[in-house]
Amino acid sequence: MSSHNPQVALKAVESGAIEVLMFSVNPCYDLMPASEDVEQLWNEENYEGHLTNMDSDRQRLYETCQRLGVGITVMKCFGGGDLLNAELSPAGVALTPNQCIHYALSRPGVAVVLAGAHSVEELKQSIAYEDASDEEKDYALTFASFPKISWQGHCVYCSHCAPCVKKIDIAYVTKFLHLTEAQASIPETVREHYAALNHHAGECIKCGVCETRCPFGVAIRENMTKAAQVFGY
């Protein structure tokens, strides 16, 4: 199934009738609430104010896809090319193809990004993601500089908090925590993935070094405490 509306897409995913969802994913669209009018995703008026954090419906959709094993194929990761141009980008800052692709691939449930191209050169830029360095893929510091958008307090799984002195993979622990928070019980697949980590939230010594590195002011120590309580270790 293909959709731009997270509420409609979520109902389809929860029905169990689909195995793959094509959905529009990028850091600007993720701030927009559901609408039957897809043109609202491009409406400049919606980005005139100061937007804060991901729309809850979109986050719930991605997490539900991950939990139920529905793969997301991403469209519009460049926002029709607007995100690559500072003058056109709703964020007011240009992103690179590597950053856009990496952001989409970092969302729960995402399996693949379908990157559009108008030329061979644009196609090569997207393919170059496969050989890009971690620095070239990193989107966090650019996000933190957005003049119109704030991700304050919201983990985007960028791993700027690393390395942890106890070698905890904070981004993955936080992602698994988010996947369980809206559920009455822990999904078995999430429990298994958490168990497979080499180090767990219960090992956190609350030193706070990770929080000094986070560009978004996430309460990481609080998240580690919650995760240890949820998973039991």
Map out the domains of the chain as residue ranges. Answer: 2-150, 170-231
CB of 231 closer than 8 Å to CB of 197: no
Res 74: pLDDT: 98
Per-residue pLDDT for 182 more than 80? no
Residue with tokens 């905890």: 168
Q: How confident is the model at residue 185 (pLDDT cuts 50, 70, 90)?
A: confident
- DSSP string covering 1-42: -EES-HHHHHHHHHHT--SEEEEE--TTGGGSPP-S-GGGGT
Cβ contacts of 139 within 8 Å, gap of 6 or more: 27, 95, 99, 100, 102, 103, 156, 158
Tell me: the pLDDT tens digits for 113-167?
Answer: 999 898 999 999 999 999 999 999 999 999 988 887 888 898 999 999 999 999 9
User: pLDDT exceeding 70 applies to what percent of the chain?
Assistant: 100
Burial (0-12, 13-18, 19+ Cβ within 10 Å), 102: buried
Read off the pLDDT band of 42 (50, 70, 90).
confident
Q: What is the DSSP string of 60-94?
A: HHHHHHHHHTPEEEEE-TTTTTGGG-TTT-TTSSP
